[in-house]
């Protein structure tokens, strides 16, 4: 037997066995696995389904199943006798009568009755630990960063204590693939390939969440993201995208690929949108200062606070870009209320956009909430060697009814 472990022993006792017989094995047959499927769809639990053809004698048969030195979860074992597809009258009818668990062994015995001599195809299903999979992606964008080729790979690592020859790998996505899964081996295979996937590149600043590149100079970090939509319109949408690492390469002018960054992609359902962080942009400079804060007493200890945030933006790239400016309302309030005691009982923030705001576009609805406001503005490209245009945008927020 090739297996390191005597893993699945089907023992039949067909003949008379004296009452004094101690051993469980009168006659052993070792039916080979007819089919093995490694079911990888569940993130946390891998299922093995194996089929064997078991010879049965008319009467009661004992089928032993043992799993020494493997990591099978015994409470998950399911034993099914599959229906004979031929539906012949002479096919063996079976009943599973009971299951017995011997002491101090990783084993069990199914007691199965058979209507006549013959064989039955049985399927044994169980969860096994140590047989894990993870996804990763290789993405290649074109030189203009408008489209992407995306290859999804699955790596299956077998530390389960058992080998599975010619296993049908089922990831729940696409076609199954047959691969040998040796003991302590890993197998990696291409699971899905997506071409011509449109991507949208954005640049984002957020003082509280993404921080400053240079705090002394008030220069914000400018982070780059690719956005992709998992739908058929964007040449995806056949399956949900499993979470995994994306390695992103870009084609340069010589036709070779350059690694431009990597990120953990989140689970993206069909029709949902995914976002990949690919690095910091140095050719877009955004300075942020609080130009004004003014306290206006209403009465007693009741105030309104007026804050004006100024952004100075320069695009040194030779193409126009979309910049998303996000402002966290609680953080801004803390900045303008820095001298006040924080964490008071007055914990909701009432605010509105003031008249001194100079951003002409409307706030982005998707990113907007009572805690955040966001705008998207388009920055013009640098015009050759001409001086870069410095845009100045102001956001006026009034915090109301504070005390």
What is the footprint of other proteins within residues 366-395 (CB under 8 A)? 369-371
3-class secondary structure, 153: strand
Sketch the per residue contact string, 112 through 151, with other proteins: x for CB under 8 A, - otherwise: -xxx---------x-x------------------------
Contact window for other proteins (CB under 8 A) among 1-9, 92-100, 197-205, 318-326: 92-100
CB nearer to other proteins: pick between 231 and 356: 231
Stretch 277-336 residues interacting with other proteins (CB under 8 A): 297-302
Residue 387: half-sphere exposure toward Cβ, Cα within 13 Å: 3
Among 93, 227, 282, 390, binds other proteins (CB under 8 A): 93
CB nearer to other proteins: pick between 318 and 352: 352
* Separation of alpha carbons 241 and 44, rounded Å: 17
CB nearer to other proteins: pick between 222 and 373: 373
Among 8, 39, 192, 206, binds other proteins (CB under 8 A): 39
* 89 scored as a contact of other proteins (CB under 8 A): no
CB nearer to other proteins: pick between 104 and 217: 104
CB nearer to other proteins: pick between 338 and 347: 347
Q: How far apart are the first and last CA of the chain?
A: 80
Q: Minimal CA–CA distance to 241: which of 226, 249, 231, 254?
A: 231
Least separation, in Å, of the C-beta of 398 and other proteins? 12
Contact window for other proteins (CB under 8 A) among 45-53, 193-201, 251-259, 316-324: 45-53
DSSP assignment letter at 31: P
Rg of the chain in Å (alpha carbons): 33
Counting residues that bind other proteins (by CB under 8 A) gives: 72
> C-alpha distances in angstroms, 200 versus 96, 151, 353?
58, 18, 28
3-class secondary structure, 299: strand
> C-alpha distances in angstroms, 294 versus 26, 127, 307, 308, 396?
93, 64, 7, 9, 11
3-class secondary structure, 234: helix
* Separation of alpha carbons 378 and 315, rounded Å: 10
* 193 scored as a contact of other proteins (CB under 8 A): no
CB neighbours of residue 76 within 10 Å? 13
CB nearer to other proteins: pick between 41 and 318: 41
Which residues, 6 or more positions from 171, have their beta carbon under 8 angstroms from its beta carbon? Answer: 40, 41, 133, 154, 191, 242
Stretch 50-79 residues interacting with other proteins (CB under 8 A): 57-62, 75-76, 78
Stretch 152-171 residues interacting with other proteins (CB under 8 A): 170
Among 87, 98, 217, 339, binds other proteins (CB under 8 A): 98
* 29 scored as a contact of other proteins (CB under 8 A): no
CB nearer to other proteins: pick between 109 and 200: 109
Q: Minimal CA–CA distance to 201: which of 322, 364, 363?
A: 322
Stretch 9-28 residues interacting with other proteins (CB under 8 A): 13, 15-24, 26
Contact window for other proteins (CB under 8 A) among 108-116, 195-203, 216-224, 314-322: 108-116
Stretch 205-264 residues interacting with other proteins (CB under 8 A): 240
> C-alpha distances in angstroms, 98 versus 79, 110, 278?
11, 6, 57
The H or E element that residue 175 is part of is: none
Contact window for other proteins (CB under 8 A) among 139-147, 267-275, 304-312, 319-327: 267-275
CB nearer to other proteins: pick between 11 and 222: 11
Look at strands 107-114 and 46-56 and give their pairing.
Answer: unpaired
């Amino acid at each position: 037997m090739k297996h390191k472990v005597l893993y699945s022993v089907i023992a039949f006792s067909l003949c008379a066995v004296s009452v004094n017989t101690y051993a469980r094995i009168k006659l052993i047959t070792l039916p080979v696995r007819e089919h093995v499927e490694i079911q990888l769809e569940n993130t946390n639990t891998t299922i093995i389904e194996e089929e064997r053809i078991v010879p049965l004698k008319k009467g009661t048969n004992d089928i032993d199943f043992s799993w020494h030195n493997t990591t099978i979860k015994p409470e998950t074992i399911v034993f099914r006798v599959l229906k004979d597809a031929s539906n012949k009258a002479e096919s063996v009818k079976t009943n599973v009568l009971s299951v017995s668990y011997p002491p101090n062994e990783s084993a069990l015995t199914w007691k199965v009755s058979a209507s006549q001599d013959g064989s039955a195809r049985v399927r044994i299903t169980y969860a096994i630990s140590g047989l894990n999979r993870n996804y990763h992606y290789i993405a290649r964008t074109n030189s203009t960063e408008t489209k992407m080729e995306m290859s999804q790979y699955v790596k299956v690592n077998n530390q389960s204590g058992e080998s599975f020859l010619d296993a049908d790998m089922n990831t729940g996505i696409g076609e199954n693939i047959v691969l040998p899964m040796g003991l302590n081996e890993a197998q990696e295979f291409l699971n899905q390939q997506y071409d011509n996937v449109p991507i949208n590149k954005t640049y984002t600043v957020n003082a509280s969440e993404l921080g400053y590149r240079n705090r002394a100079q008030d220069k914000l970090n400018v982070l780059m993201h690719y956005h992709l939509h998992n739908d058929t319109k964007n040449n995806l949408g056949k399956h949900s995208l499993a979470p995994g690492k994306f390695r992103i390469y870009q084609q340069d002018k010589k036709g070779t690929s350059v690694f431009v960054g990597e990120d953990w992609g989140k689970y993206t359902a069909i029709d949902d949108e995914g976002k990949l962080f690919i690095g910091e942009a140095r050719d877009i400079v955004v300075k942020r200062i609080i130009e004004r804060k003014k306290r206006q007493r209403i009465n007693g200890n009741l105030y309104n606070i007026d804050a004006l945030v100024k952004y100075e933006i320069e695009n040194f790239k030779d193409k126009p870009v979309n910049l998303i400016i996000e402002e966290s309302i609680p953080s801004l309030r803390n900045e303008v209320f820095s001298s006040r005691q924080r964490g008071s009982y007055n914990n909701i923030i009432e605010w509105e956009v003031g008249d001194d705001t100079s951003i002409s576009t409307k706030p982005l609805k998707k990113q907007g909430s009572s805690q955040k406001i966001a705008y998207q503005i388009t920055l013009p490209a640098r015009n050759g060697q001409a001086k870069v245009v410095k845009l100045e945008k102001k956001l006026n927020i009034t915090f109301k009814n504070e005390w």
